[in-house]
Amino acid sequence: MARKQTTSVTPSSGIGLDLHLELDGIGLRVGLTEALRAAVRSGRLASGTRLPASRALASDLGVARSTVTEYYTTLVEEGWLVARHGSGTHVAQRAVPRGAPEQDIQPHQHTLGLQPGAAEYPDFPRASWLAAARKALAAAPHSAFGYGDPLGRMELRRALADYLSRVRGVDADPRRIAITSGYHHGLGVLARALRAEGVGTVAVEAYGLGLYRHVLQDAGMETHALEVDERGARLDDLADLVPGSAAMLTPAHQFPTGHALSADRRNALLDWARATGGVVLEDDYDGEFRYDRKPIGALQGLDPDHVVYFGTASKSVAPALRLAWAVVPERLMSAVGVAKGRVDTVSVLDQLTFTEFVTSGKFDRHVRSRRQSYRTRRDQLVTTLAVRAPDVRVLGMSAGLQVALVLPSGTEERILQAATRQGFFVSGLSEFRHPLAPRPAPWSDGLVVNFSAVSDSAWPTALESLASVLP
């Protein structure tokens, strides 16, 4: 039986192309031709892939150039390769790899997605972001190209401290800010830090993203559901928690019901934290997008010693940046540093670009532009529903990137199915309810509609489709 070996052809010159081939021990010429046929046949070498020059490949294999030239010529004659003067040797165009099932190549069929998390991003500020990236890269010190501070670049932490203090009322010392790769990552870091400090229970809102409950549970913490009404999370059950527990809330704009935590409950929450040594995890969800008046300031500004403030660029700019931040009480910074690790987890170049984006004022202008656009969409949605579906109630205040709609009892599943048949997707309100919430839900049936999820051109069609399936 012929011996099979795997050979990775790497150019010794440093300027050629790498090529991985699996060679059978049946002679060099036959082995090479069979290995290349197999790579093309399987689709591993796609149509148009450029191959190493014959001289470079011969040098790497330690054979005469004429041997490789003959090898290439044979495969060109068989139709596996094409050789063009001045452009080298490439894998030939093949409709379907031999032995592979034929598949029709269809253009992507766009489906309107109005569920939270789905999005179109035609308004990403490409020009201003590119300008910020060029300026940041030109000014970056040589040290910026190393592994970086685990807590993030100090330039960005200073810029965020100024911005959050000015815009959200956060008490943000740069030394107490940790830069993370998105909110999901940041929450995981804090959960591990709290668990290391002995915190075993976190109170969460009865309505919220299950993904984040799982992050807490993965860190070994139990979650306790707090019911939600028109004044935000109900705090009665906090008295049942052991001292030193934590509570995770969205006080500026509860997700997904859309209510703000009332002033008396904000004070009661902080009183609980002070009296018990508890920690409040403040997810400033959609905090910058309030349309009827100035956004509500962050809870953290009232008690920075007991509140961890989370913010992110995912909603204001784009999730692809994987850029978020946590403003942490001094007593937890050591545990957060350990939980985050020894090396920065966020692209330093993206941090420097975002620093320039913030300090230049481009971030402020972008957020204001998005706020006006989303306000227009929300107003159009509310006006349309008032005419087309007067029995459907819009929950919450005029803020955020989605609305919760209260439906007649028993209709949620039927309407979700009707929406799917119409070619668009929304989420049911029940999808976000904590499975262990003890009391009956205050809103039994509903939808959560993300009005920021489609492009401007698609929005009228999406709005009409939504109105057509509502009672």
pLDDT digits (tens, 9 = 90+) for 12-58: 444 557 777 666 555 565 677 788 888 888 888 888 898 888 888 87
pLDDT at 350 over 90: yes
Dihedral sign for Cα 412, 418, 420, 424, please: negative
Q: Residue 274 — left, alpha, or beta (φ > 0 → left; ψ -120 to 50 → alpha)?
A: alpha
Spatial distance between the Cα atoms of 110 and 182, rounded to a whole number of angstroms? 27
List 404's β-bridge partners, or say none. Answer: 395, 448
Instruction: Indicate the range of 46-55, 87-96, 449-458 predicted with least confidence.
Output: 87-96
**Top-ranked range on mean pLDDT: pick from 39-53, 348-362, 414-428:** 348-362
Q: What is the pLDDT of residue 404?
A: 95
Q: What is the pLDDT of residue 210?
A: 93
Q: What is the pLDDT of residue 161?
A: 98
Q: What is the pLDDT of residue 1?
A: 43
Residues 332 and 308 sit within 8 Å (Cβ to Cβ)? yes
Spatial distance between the Cα atoms of 82 and 90, rounded to a whole number of angstroms? 5
Domains located in the chain, CATH noted? 4-91 (1.10.10.10), 126-364 (3.40.640.10), 367-469 (3.90.1150.10)
The beta-strand segments (E) located in 139-268 are 177-180, 201-205, 222-226, 228-229, 232-233, 246-249
pLDDT at 468 over 50: yes
Q: Which residues of 365-404 are buried (b: 16+ CB within 10 A; e: fewer)?
A: ebbeebbeebbebbeebeebbeeebeebebbbbbbbbbbb
Residues 94 and 47 sit within 8 Å (Cβ to Cβ)? yes
> Confidence class of residue 260 from pLDDT cuts 50, 70 and 90?
very high
Q: What is the pLDDT of residue 30?
A: 64
Q: What is the pTM of this model?
A: 0.81
Higher pLDDT, 5 or 274: 274
pLDDT at 443 over 50: yes
312-325 average pLDDT score: 94
Q: What is the mean pLDDT of the chain?
A: 88
Q: What is the pLDDT of residue 23?
A: 60
Residue type (1 letter), 442: P
Higher pLDDT, 308 or 60: 308
The DSSP letter of residue 301 is G
Residues 114 and 454 sit within 8 Å (Cβ to Cβ)? yes
- Reading the block at residue 435, the tokens are 């499975």
Higher pLDDT, 379 or 100: 379
pLDDT digits (tens, 9 = 90+) for 208-246: 999 999 999 999 999 999 999 999 999 999 999 999 999
Q: What is the pLDDT of residue 3?
A: 45
> Confidence class of residue 444 from pLDDT cuts 50, 70 and 90?
confident
Instruction: Indicate the range of 66-80, 90-104, 155-169, 450-464 predicted with least confidence.
Output: 90-104
Q: What is the pLDDT of residue 98?
A: 45
State what percent of residues in the chain have pLDDT above 70: 90
* DSSP-assigned states of every residue in 34-92: HHHHHHHHTTSS-TTPBPPPHHHHHHHHTS-HHHHHHHHHHHHHHTSEEEETTTEEEEP
pLDDT at 296 over 80: yes
Q: Considering only the C-alpha atoms of the chain, give the largest distance between any 2 of them, rounded to a whole number of Å.
A: 85
Q: What is the pLDDT of residue 28?
A: 61
Instruction: Indicate the range of 74-88, 138-152, 257-271 predicted with least confidence.
Output: 74-88
Q: Tell the residue number behind the tokens 């149509």, with chain if given.
A: 47
Dihedral sign for Cα 196, 197, 198, 200, please: negative
Spatial distance between the Cα atoms of 81 and 69, rounded to a whole number of angstroms? 12
Q: What is the pLDDT of residue 22?
A: 66
pLDDT digits (tens, 9 = 90+) for 92-137: 886 444 444 444 444 334 456 787 875 667 789 999 999 999 999 9
434-441 average pLDDT score: 84
Q: What is the pLDDT of residue 26?
A: 52
pLDDT at 10 over 80: no
Spatial distance between the Cα atoms of 159 and 427, rounded to a whole number of angstroms? 36
pLDDT at 158 over 80: yes
pLDDT at 151 over 90: yes
| 348 Cβ contact partners less than 8 Å away, ≥ 6 residues apart | 144, 145, 148, 153
pLDDT at 166 over 50: yes
152: helix, coil or strand?
A: coil
Residues 261 and 396 sit within 8 Å (Cβ to Cβ)? no
Residues 44 and 85 sit within 8 Å (Cβ to Cβ)? no
63 to 3, 27, 56, 311: CA distances (angstroms): 20, 13, 10, 60
Higher pLDDT, 421 or 6: 421
